[in-house]
Amino acid sequence: MAHFQTTRRVHHSADEMFALVADVEKYPEFLPLCQQLNVRSRRERDGKTLLVADMTVAYKMVRETFSTQVLLKPDERRIDVKYVEGPFRYLDNRWDFVPVGEGACDVKFDIEYEFKSRTLGLLMGSMFDYAFRRFAEAFEARADVIYGDGARSAQNAG
């Protein structure tokens, strides 16, 4: 089973980063390998939002779609992603956004996955590893576009 975990300090608030990662419909605009994302359902309850989404990833001639259940917990600044169906045997992903002072946070990204097919795993595995390693970076770059370059703003403020 493949596992990747990273913590990245960004110069944007935890709430801003949570909102950016929670806006799943925008993923195809900036996320590596993500070709398409459709939200099948959305339910809100007790301050939390539960989505079921289909993501299509593509690399060269390979194109796969998989479904996940995404639980958005804004009060906890946490997003839990559980696998529903597609080419994986298992996929579990968690995002945590931890404030570390004014206008900064640690973005914690943790993902474990395994493909059902050994062949697909060999074909797509290294690309998924590469993409997952770039996810936090892609979200930070997207935050800089949407909210302004936080590092530059923090340096100018000091």
Label residue 152 by pLDDT band (50, 70, 90): very low
Mean pLDDT to the nearest integer, 79-97: 95
In a domain, 108, yes or no: yes
Q: Is 120 inside a domain boundary?
A: yes
Task: Please indicate, yes or no, if residue 158 is contained in any of the structural domains.
Answer: no
CA dist., res. 91 & res. 83, Å (int): 5
Prediction pTM value: 0.87
pLDDT at 158: 39
Tens digits of residue pLDDT in 109-147:
999 999 888 877 777 777 777 777 777 788 989 999 999
| Residue 24: band (very low, low, confident or very high) from pLDDT cuts 50, 70, 90 | very high
Q: The domain containing residue 119 runs over which residues?
A: 2-153
pLDDT of residue 101: 87
Per-residue pLDDT, averaged over 61-66, amounts to 85
Number of compact structural domains in the chain? 1
Is 76 among the domain residues?
Answer: yes
Distance CA 23, CA 16 (A): 11
Answer whether residue 63 is part of any domain.
Answer: yes
What is the CATH classification number for the domain harbouring 98? Answer: 3.30.530.20
Range 47-63 average pLDDT: 90
The answer as to whether 135 is a domain residue is yes
